[in-house]
Structure 1
Amino acid sequence: MQKNKLIKYSSFLLTGLLVIGFVAAYFISDSFQTSVQDFWQVMWSGDQEKISNQVERFGIWGAVIIILLIILQMFLVVFPSWLPMIVAALVYGTIPSILISSTGVFLASSIGFVIGRQIGDNTIHNYMKQKTLDKLEYWIGNYGFWSIVIFRISPFLSNDAISVIAGGLKMKYLRFISATMLGIIPLATAIALFAENISTLKNGLYWIGGGGILIYAIFIYIDNRKRKKS
């Protein structure tokens, strides 16, 4: 239990250190501050090439910025969740970008989970009918692990909501984060390998996500029928 809590709350500590370091550099260095302001304007443009060029200027800090953007995306949807992963692949290459993207999702997911845990099921009760809550608890209890894997591997599903719900419904953290990483590493790998061909990448992600959802839906249907019979 103590090890579980240590892993879970260490994400807050690491994120806090990243934020403190970034903020300190922002106020200490005028050139860094100007670069950040320019970078933010470019991010709003959505231009992939411009964004990549901006990140490259930051060197190692660019990796920190990408991780912070993945975390920020959980709270403020200002750009697609997969965009920072593509930028990481274009700037840093295959292996480093997989590590950067996986670290960002690990931290963002852990924070979302802890937020859900702090909110608790009592608060969730206030916003959901008991029948809906029972269905969610049944789903998390029986299909939670692979549901999270499917949500992570498809960037077009709501990754952030599943983190909060899993935490609020008391899913075990190690089970949750294992499913998260099992889903996000293949996605980050696919993005890293095909980032330079965006049209191919998007089609591939649609096929992977759609195919995974279809196969999983068939599995759940068959499993539900077996459960009802037994």
Structure 2
Amino acid sequence: MDKKKRNLLVKIGFLLLILLMYFLVPSFKDGINNIAIMLSKLDIEEVKNYIKSFGALAPFVSILLMMFQSIAAPLPAFIITFANAWVFGWAFGAFISWTGAMLGACMCYFISKMYGRPVVEKIIGKKAIDMTDKFFDKYGEYAILIARLLPFISFDAISYAAGLTTMTFWSFFWATGIGQLPATIVYSILGQNIGKVAKLGLWVVCGVIALIALAFAIRKYLLDKKNKKEVA
């Protein structure tokens, strides 16, 4: 059997395994559905209690939650980041959130590489992938870094879209890691203070505004640099 056929069989086999587990193992199906419902409700306290319920395994469960969220786009990631900071404190919470987000992004990238555009369109929708295509066309090699800095750009859609480009994995990895760090730190600091409900709204607004200002400043710098390269 040649390499191409073997790779195809591996891809099909992996998909069949996931589908069989979902439809034939009730506990697996219920667990997936319950997690998706929990995250979609945007209830930070419920996510916090869910993570805490696993005791010493809580950090690992949180990382798995973040990975699941990435693959099952467009479930929100910031809910988990807030909950992690509430449970573990902002510093360790940020580390867990960043690690989970990075692993999730890598999985999205490799899913795209393995299964191609048709599968990605079914996961995140044709409209979303078309928008990210335009984003990559506009910003070129800086697209990943700029997208990670802008809080209103879908983290998961960009990860999937990157896998459809010629971008190398390590270029994707480093741009994602650096770009994701500011938002993770800001959301984690906010999350640690989430119990102070009266002040939380103001903190969130200030944090998001600061992130957007930083993102646009870096975006302008990178675009100027890109334009200079093109002129040269």
Normalised by the length of structure 1, the TM-score is: 0.65
In the other structure, the counterpart of 1:20 is none
Summarize the Cα distance change of 1:194–1:173 in structure 2 as closer, same or farther, 3 Å threshold: same
The alpha-carbon deviation at position 136 of structure 1 amounts to 6.2
Aligned Cα RMSD in Å? 4.0
Instruction: Report if the CA contact (8 A) 1:98-1:189 is conserved.
Output: yes
User: What do the CA deviations read for 1:78-129 (whole angstroms, capped 9, x no partner)?
Assistant: 74211101101101112321221111111111011112222458999xx89x
Residues 9-88 of structure 1: pairs in structure 2 closer than 5 A: 43=39, 45-77=41-73, 79-88=75-84
**1:111 equivalent among 85, 107, 110:** 107
CA distance in 1, matches of 2:43, 2:134: 42
Q: Which runs of 5+ in 2 are unaligned?
A: 1-26, 121-125, 195-199
Instruction: Report if the CA contact (8 A) 2:40-2:75 is conserved.
Output: yes
Instruction: Report if the CA contact (8 A) 2:47-2:79 is conserved.
Output: no
Query: What percentage of aligned pairs have identical amino acids?
Result: 22
Q: Which runs of 5+ in 1 are unaligned?
A: 1-25, 28-33
The alpha-carbon deviation at position 151 of structure 1 amounts to 2.4
Residues 99-178 of structure 1: pairs in structure 2 closer than 5 A: 99-120=95-116, 139=138, 142-144=140-142, 147-178=143-174
CA distance in 2, matches of 1:66, 1:216: 30
The alpha-carbon deviation at position 227 of structure 1 amounts to 5.2
Instruction: Report if the CA contact (8 A) 1:194-1:200 is conserved.
Output: no
Normalised by the length of structure 2, the TM-score is: 0.65
CA distance in 1, matches of 2:88, 2:175: 26
SS at match of 1:168: coil
CA distance in 2, matches of 1:122, 1:49: 37
Summarize the Cα distance change of 1:180–1:43 in structure 2 as closer, same or farther, 3 Å threshold: closer
The alpha-carbon deviation at position 135 of structure 1 amounts to 6.4
Say how many residue pairs are matched: 194
CA distance in 1, matches of 2:134, 2:50: 46
